[in-house]
Copies of this chain bind each other. A is one copy, B any other.
Amino acid sequence: MSLDRLIKGIIEKNNPTVVGLDPKLSYLPEYLLREAMENAPDPLTGAADALLRFNRALIDALCDIVPAVKPQCAYYEMYGWQGMRTLCETVSYAREKGMYVIIDGKRNDIGSTMEAYAAAHLGHTAVGETQLRAFAGDALTVNGYLGSDGIDPLLTVCKKEDRGIFVLVKTSNPSSGELQDRLIGDQPVYEIMGEMCEQWGADQIGEYGYSAVGAVVGATYPEQLSLLRQKLPHTFFLVPGYGAQGGGGKGVAGAFDQNGIGAVVNSSRGIICAYQKEGCDPHDFAGAARREALRMQKDITENL
């Protein structure tokens, strides 16, 4: 009915961050790929197996200090259906370890097609009398360009299955303004999208005042982040762009409310490739991720 499970995890761990699991092969220590390839029947199966080993080790190293992970679908699709199997197994493993899983798919469509995406990532798929989970995330990122027809099917599943969505509002990339900053009357497009999030979530508000419909708002636009925090009091923010894309702890402070909640800040490469930057033994990649996650936690909570 809301994003409360995520918020509870953030409060318990005093850590409003999520680790993006975006595992390109080039991010992996060489030995991991080599080991996975040795017994693989084909290259994509080997690659997918290496990605799974990488993710599992990261989840093991992070699950007691970080409340959530955000696997990015593109990096799994790139390795074919074998990569999608790794996505599926990564989601299960993270949930077993008590982490909240935001599947970053930015999915969008309408009607029965959107119902299919909702079933795939948040709900159940019927096969005969059996109801099965396909990817089984806790939340899914979505794109609202198609309007309510694309969001309503998700709201039904969110309510029924205690799941959440994050709608793209103001993205972190340099060209996000080409459409998102254009004015409709005296309001930029992203603000209108933000107001739609408030409406979509209006009847699924949880105990912290936030609904099941969150918004993606980039760390790279601190002014818009603060402004949107004020304008969208019931909309929880997923904030990409920390670290690799340039935003820091001070820059994201405006995403939080006066109680220090209201947002979860993502870092992907900054954490999962920390071993490369640190220059440590590649066998310690998960340890380096943990050290960087703790540094990020400090950087963000200090600035609240």
Residues of chain A touching chain B, judged by Cβ–Cβ distance below 8 Å, are 22, 24-25, 33, 37, 43-44, 46-47, 72, 74-75, 77-85, 87-88, 106-114, 116-117, 119-121, 125-128, 130, 132, 134-135, 143-150, 168, 171-180, 182-185, 189, 192-193, 196
Q: Is the CB of A80 within 8 A of B178?
A: no
Q: Is the CB of A132 within 8 A of B44?
A: yes
Q: List 29 interface pairs A-B (beta carbons < 8 Å), by A numbering.
A: A24-B112, A43-B128, A43-B130, A44-B134, A74-B107, A74-B109, A74-B117, A74-B120, A77-B120, A78-B134, A80-B84, A81-B82, A81-B87, A81-B88, A83-B134, A106-B107, A106-B108, A108-B108, A108-B168, A110-B173, A145-B168, A145-B180, A148-B175, A148-B178, A149-B174, A150-B175, A182-B184, A183-B185, A184-B189
A193 partner residues in chain B, CB cutoff 8 A: 179
CA distance A144 to B189 in the complex (A): 13
A110 partner residues in chain B, CB cutoff 8 A: 171-173
Instruction: Give this chain's copy count.
Output: 2
Q: Is the CB of B176 within 8 A of A125?
A: no
